[in-house]
Amino acid sequence: MNWQEQDWRDCVGEVLISEQSLQARVAEMGAQISQDYAGQDLLLVCVLKGGVMFLTDLMRQITIAHGIDFMAISSYGAGVRKSSGVVRILMDLSANIAGRNVLIVEDIIDTGHTLDYLLNLLRTRGPASLRVCCLLDKPSRREVPIEVDYLGFSIPDKYVFGYGLDLDEYFRELPLIATLRPELCAPFVRESAEG
């Protein structure tokens, strides 16, 4: 599918989470994080690329001083919409996280392989604490158990895009989360249903 030739509105099955609902929930999460980390050092570690919209909205809702850093990780090959289970680091942190309170900021947990890998890796670097803040969770897809400390929304096993999540790298900029029209994602729907 040449997504760049599509109007995203024609790709939407349904708006799963509106801009208003997203912003309201992100504000709640930011307030909770501000309260929980009050008086402590805090470093947000954003997992690129999907986490970037969530990070930039979340950090504007966190009222305590905090730092940010980025990692790029992928368990999905180009053009593939199913986790391979093999996670690769595409870009590592610039910060030394030893002794710091690290909060991972992710867009979505699907199988859990990405976060499982990341948590194990970052633990070896000696952070004072290591927690997870994730916008979306597809619990029915989980293959590896993950403890999420801050969760935005639990969603059904549907292909979703917008607000950082892409359709083959397009439409990350949308301010809402939408499902893809079923007729546009037939190969993925089969793949997903087969797990």
Q: Which is nearer to ligand PRP, 33 or 137 (CB)?
A: 137
Q: Which is nearer to ligand PRP, 64 or 121 (CB)?
A: 121
**Distance of closest approach, residue 109 Cβ to ligand PRP, in angstroms:** 5
Radius of gyration of the chain (CA): 17
Q: Which of 36, 69, 157, 166 binds ligand PRP (CB under 6 A)?
A: 166
- Judged on CB neighbours under 10 Å (0-12, 13-18, 19+), 112 is buried
3-class DSSP state of 175 = coil
| Integer Cα distance of 45 and 66 in angstroms | 11
- Of 33, 26, 122, 30, give the one whose Cα is nearest residue 73: 122
| Contact stretch for ligand PRP (CB under 6 A) within 24-32, 54-62, 69-77, 147-155 | 69-77
Count the residues of the shown chain that bind ligand PRP, applying the rule CB under 6 A. 18
3-class DSSP state of 32 = helix
Site string for ligand PRP, 110-149 (x = CB under 6 A): xxxxx-----------------------------------
**Distance of closest approach, residue 130 Cβ to ligand PRP, in angstroms:** 16
3-class DSSP state of 159 = coil
Q: Which is nearer to ligand PRP, 83 or 192 (CB)?
A: 83
| Integer Cα distance of 125 and 121 in angstroms | 7
Residues 73-102 that bind ligand PRP (CB under 6 A): 74-76, 83
3-state helix, strand, coil in the chain (%, to 5): 30, 30, 40
Residue 168 is among the residues annotated as catalytic for this protein: no
**Distance of closest approach, residue 46 Cβ to ligand PRP, in angstroms:** 10
Count of positions (residues) in the chain: 195
Could you tell me if 125 and 141 are in contact, meaning their C-beta atoms sit under 8 angstroms apart? Answer: no
192 touches ligand PRP (CB under 6 A): no
Q: Which of 12, 33, 44, 108 binds ligand PRP (CB under 6 A)?
A: 108
Q: Which residues are catalytic?
A: 110
Chain contacts with ligand PRP (rule: CB under 6 A): 47-50, 74-76, 83, 106-114, 166
